[in-house]
Structure 1
Amino acid sequence: MDLVSILPHLITVSVMLVVFGLGLDASRQDALSLFRNPGLLLRSWLSMNVIMPLVAAGFVVAFDLPTPVDIALVALAISPVPPLLPRKEMKAGGQESYAIGLCVAIALLSIITVPIAVALFTGAFGRAGEISPLQVAKSVLMTVVVPLTVGIVLRRRVPALAEKLARPVALWGMVLLVLSALPLVYAFWPGVSALFGNGTVLIIAAMATIGLGVGHVLGGPHAHTRTVLALSTTSRHPAIALAVAVAGGAETKPALAAILLYVIVATLISVPYVAWRKAAGAD
């Protein structure tokens, strides 16, 4: 087993540590909060799982993109929230309970919605492909549900220990993530850079910008929910997106390169938005 094949496993462990740290600071009420607000849950689902997939499909139809890119865009659009996002959203002024609740709700719903969406899109674009709920459930459970639940249980049973562990666990998770992700980006950079100069970056930037706008509008009248939904709509779970892309017929390395490019561009696009929301002070 070479280094490149080990790195994704280290990234998974790092994500689990970060989410575990988040759970040590969260409560069961936070995790289930969105299920108690069906109106906001519906708007969140529409923003992430209806409008953005349609936007991605529109770009695929309108532009002659490389096949791995068009599959990756659709795969990203139907994937759930990345489990690292809630902390970023809270730092940008987002509501903690909504950020955590959205991560949990969309992750659980994705077990049903992602396989259905894959079937619809592969059928619409004349490709053979499928992904089982079990595949999605495994990724969701490993990177979101289990570490978050364990953290919440510890917070409830031994609050003093949870408070002491929360920050260092999350910090070590982020350190491991950076140390694992940078070599992976370096290893796949030739594939990423090959997508420059053909309009792919502009299309990805447009899709990320639309995601911010759609989420901001559908987030409702409260600034702290608008911020969370905007960032969640434009940022997606790369591991599930890769599984969806491969199931949709894309080769693994080109699909991963396209997904990495989206993550990089979407992160850069969100920087001024986050700065604006912090300056606005949740007005």
Structure 2
Amino acid sequence: MNHPFLLIIVKVTIFSLMLAMGIKFSLETMFSFWRKPALLFRALLAVVVLVPLVVVALLKLFNLPLGVAMGLVFLAASPGAPLTTKRTKMAGAKSSQSASLQLTLALLAVIITPLTLAIFTILFQSIPEKLTMLDVAKQVTIVQLLPVSLGLLLQKFGANYAVRVEKSLTFIANFLFFILVILACIIGFPLLFKLWGLPLVVITIMVIVSLGIGHILGGPDEDHRSILAISCIARNIGLALFITILNGLEKQVIPTIVAYLMVGAVLGVLYSIYHKRKLAKLP
């Protein structure tokens, strides 16, 4: 599969997912998390600061292949996965709170993503810097900030039309994301065997520690624990793929993204089962 075609697929998929997210959730929904500044601070600290710091520590501790290191860096710089709300609901969380954090991360990605990548290139000289902060910010604005903003505006000023198109657009966006995951697996799966051993152990550590960070900082409210825990591991796979392709590192990095997707899905489901059972025992 050639580079331009895959890039187009990724761009269309991210744009559709973000537009659907903006149409589905209103500005009022987003503000629900903002009304709890202490919780919002802990959430941003966990997802935006501490998870990338975990990656910094792992890269310092372990001598990983460049492709694996780059994959972890791109994932760390890509918070706010489009399906986070669905995943947190599996863990028993309230959708409004989760949706608020998800929207916030999607809008802030235009700052968070280029800044995180710039910090990693400073800390690790071996990481190639093909794109400047401004380049990344422009690209994230086009594929993420712009569609989310358009969706929110449509929800605000054209609610009747938004209701009519929301289900169809969400179906199309989810279908495109499914196709994108399949394409990533086709490209990356044959190379996954190279990740056996240390790289897979490091990816697993990243997921487990990230879950722990979110769970601890989300307390004492159990609902907030699940939201932050899942949000920490739910990195934006589409955005990470987008950055990968822009840097021309598909073959080296996509296997790591696919491995993270699989490990994160399995451990995320196990956490959701554990947390839902814990909630069921509460009075």
TM-score interval w.r.t. the shorter chain?
Answer: 0.7 to 0.9
Equivalent residues of 2:13, 2:173 under 8 A apart: yes
CA RMSD of aligned residues (A): 2.9
User: What secondary structure is seen at the aligned counterpart in 1 of 2:38?
Assistant: helix
The percentage of aligned residue pairs carrying the same residue is 28
Aligned to 2:170: 170
The alpha-carbon distance between structure 1 residues 88 and 19, as it changes in their structure 2 partners (threshold 3 A), is farther
Inter-partner Cα distance in structure 2 for 1:113 and 1:174: 24
The alpha-carbon distance between structure 1 residues 111 and 21, as it changes in their structure 2 partners (threshold 3 A), is closer
Aligned to 2:212: 213
Aligned to 2:145: 145
1:280 Cα deviation after fit: 4.3
Equivalent residues of 1:17, 1:147 under 8 A apart: yes
Q: Within 5 A, what are the aligned runs for 1:1-283?
A: 2=1, 5-127=4-126, 129=129, 131-196=131-196, 198-242=197-241, 251-281=249-279
1:270 Cα deviation after fit: 0.6
1:25 Cα deviation after fit: 2.8
The alpha-carbon distance between structure 1 residues 54 and 154, as it changes in their structure 2 partners (threshold 3 A), is closer
Inter-partner Cα distance in structure 2 for 1:143 and 1:149: 11
1:20 Cα deviation after fit: 3.0
Inter-partner Cα distance in structure 2 for 1:57 and 1:82: 21
Equivalent residues of 2:7, 2:245 under 8 A apart: no
Q: Deviations over 1:166-225 (max 9, x none)?
A: 2232122212222343133112322223212x2211221121011111111112322232
Equivalent residues of 1:136, 1:240 under 8 A apart: no
1:139 Cα deviation after fit: 4.2
Q: Deviations over 1:235-278 (max 9, x none)?
A: 2123443566689x884420222122212211121111123334
User: What secondary structure is seen at the aligned counterpart in 1 of 2:172?
Assistant: helix
137-146 or 70-79: bigger deviation: 137-146
The alpha-carbon distance between structure 1 residues 119 and 25, as it changes in their structure 2 partners (threshold 3 A), is closer
Equivalent residues of 1:71, 1:250 under 8 A apart: no
Letter in 2 for 1:25: K
1:84 Cα deviation after fit: 2.9
1:3 Cα deviation after fit: 5.9
Inter-partner Cα distance in structure 1 for 2:117 and 2:92: 34
Equivalent residues of 1:75, 1:241 under 8 A apart: yes
Q: Deviations over 1:69-90 (max 9, x none)?
A: 1232233223222223233323
- Mark the runs of 5 or more structure 1 residues left unpaired by the alignment: none
Equivalent residues of 2:14, 2:238 under 8 A apart: no
Equivalent residues of 2:11, 2:242 under 8 A apart: no
Q: How many residues align?
A: 280
Inter-partner Cα distance in structure 1 for 2:139 and 2:238: 8
The alpha-carbon distance between structure 1 residues 226 and 113, as it changes in their structure 2 partners (threshold 3 A), is same
- Mark the runs of 5 or more structure 2 residues left unpaired by the alignment: none
User: What secondary structure is seen at the aligned counterpart in 2 of 1:194?
Assistant: helix
The normalised TM-score by structure 2 is 0.83
